[in-house]
Amino acid sequence: MAETSIGKPYIDEGTTRKIIHDIEVSEYDWHRDAKDRTVTVKEGQGWQLQYNGELPIELIEGKEYFIPANLYHRVIPGIGDLLLKIEE
């Protein structure tokens, strides 16, 4: 199982976030962010994004996804790590 120095299933480097794939599924908690975010998938296969009350959608490399402020959401792990560019 992967561990990060901050005790979370991801590592932030500036506007890039690497979400680790080989952790317990329960670590991918439902959460919400204080600000609107647009995320662009840089790397990752089979990962999904699920908004509260909706079915999961597949995250596709190169595509942007909008996450409104205060909307509960989560990622569902795929193969390998997920690399995202995050813009607020």
pTM score over 0.95? no
* DSSP E strands, the chain: 10-13, 16-19, 37-45, 48-51, 57-58, 64-67, 73-76, 79-87
Q: CA nearest 9: which of 36, 47, 40, 42?
A: 47
Q: Give the per-residue pLDDT at 4.
A: 42
Longest dimension (CA), the chain: 32
Fold of the 10-87 domain: Jelly Rolls (2.60.120)
Locate the domains of the chain by residue range. 10-87
pLDDT exceeds 50 at position 5: no
- Give per-residue pLDDT as tens, 41-84: 999 999 999 999 999 999 999 999 999 999 999 999 999 999 99
